[in-house]
Amino acid sequence: MVTKVDRLVDIVLYTVLALFALSTLFPLYFVFIMSVTPYTEVLRNGGFIVWPSSVTLDAYKQIFASRRIPDALQITVFVTVVGTFLNLLVTTLLAYPLSKKTTPWRNGILLAIIFTLLFNGGLIPTYLVVRGLGLYNTVWALIVPGMVSTFNFLIMKTYFEGIPQEVEEAARVDGCGELATLFRIVLPLSAPIMATIGLFYGIGHWNEYFKGIMYVTEKSLAPIQVVLRNMIQTPSVSQELSLNATNLSQLPPETIKMATVTVAILPIILVYPFLQKFFIKGVMIGAIKG
């Protein structure tokens, strides 16, 4: 039976959650509103607008008039799609055999992998390795370093350990080898964890800017986050977008930056709702089973 105290507690909890959601969503909303509000209205309201009286898309027209943003988006999409696919492939091929207790040298390999959670090679040695492999100033410098995340590997390994052995034994009785069992039986049963790890890797690639700063100097290879970082740090947005300054005379730099931020975060916001149910289920199963 629901008492008045229970109802009061529910009201308080839902109020707190609503306020928390509002505090999370409002910055995104504010960035978008600032990107579509005419500058005269921004000045008239002291730089703070919740609901504009008129809307303009001039900022978006300007950033897409330059090839800088479209090229950066193409690089980011390529790195995210190809990088996530390779991340999942390599992580799966590493986690699946190490989820079996009969794998030779399993404990030693696991110890070496987990060791990287505490220590790594360092920034300068990693930079030298990237240059030595010929990856410097190539799009692969944004993908190959850090191909496998130890954290994601452990989640996937734990999930594989929770798959009943009888399922794999039945596949082997039917004549499937190890790879056939993995790709035909195990992976179809692992859609939640694959979506979860894929989301982790994908968001990481999309938001990555450090590798773009360290390993890429060609402007044509810069991902969208590097372009956005440069726009925030430089006083001249027109120089970063390679546009004539007169084209931006009616638009303040902040409006251009807000529009670029919106373009940078919109794809992730659109994709996440479709993967949310897999994300929650995959994390819970991968963290509990084993």
Q: Using pLDDT thresholds of 50, 70 and 90, give the confidence band for residue 250.
A: low
Two structure tokens written together for 143: 């993908």
This prediction's pTM: 0.80
Range of the domain at 37: 4-44
**33 and 95 housed in the same domain:** no
Residue 17 falls within a domain, yes or no? yes
**66 and 21 housed in the same domain:** no
**83 and 196 housed in the same domain:** yes
- pLDDT tens-place string over residues 276-286: 666 665 555 54
Residue 129 falls within a domain, yes or no? yes
- Report whether pLDDT(99) > 90: no
Residue 188 falls within a domain, yes or no? yes
Residue 238 falls within a domain, yes or no? yes
Two structure tokens written together for 265: 């975060």
- Report whether pLDDT(185) > 50: yes
Helices (H), 162-252: 165-173, 178-181, 187-189, 191-207, 210-215, 224-233, 237-241
Question: Which position has the higher pLDDT, 48 or 102?
Answer: 102
**193 and 279 housed in the same domain:** yes
* CB 264, CB 225: distance < 8 Å: yes
Residue 53 falls within a domain, yes or no? no
Give residue 237's pLDDT: 66
**26 and 169 housed in the same domain:** no
Place of tokens 């707190």: 16
**33 and 120 housed in the same domain:** no
DSSP 118: T
- CA–CA gap between residue 123 and residue 214 (Å, rounded): 9
**91 and 206 housed in the same domain:** yes
**11 and 69 housed in the same domain:** no
> How many folded domains does the chain comprise?
2
**232 and 112 housed in the same domain:** yes
**35 and 108 housed in the same domain:** no
- CA–CA gap between residue 258 and residue 263 (Å, rounded): 9
Residue 180 falls within a domain, yes or no? yes
- pLDDT tens-place string over residues 134-167: 889 999 999 998 888 888 898 888 888 887 877 7
Question: Which position has the higher pLDDT, 184 or 149?
Answer: 149
Cβ atoms within 10 A of the Cβ of 101, count? 8
Q: Is the dihedral of CA 50, 51, 53, 54 positive or negative?
A: positive
**29 and 78 housed in the same domain:** no
* CB 182, CB 168: distance < 8 Å: no
C-alpha distances (whole Å) from 170 to each of 98, 103, 166, 167, 178 are: 20, 19, 6, 5, 12
Residue 49 falls within a domain, yes or no? no
Residue 186 falls within a domain, yes or no? yes
Domain harbouring 280, CATH code: 1.10.3720.10
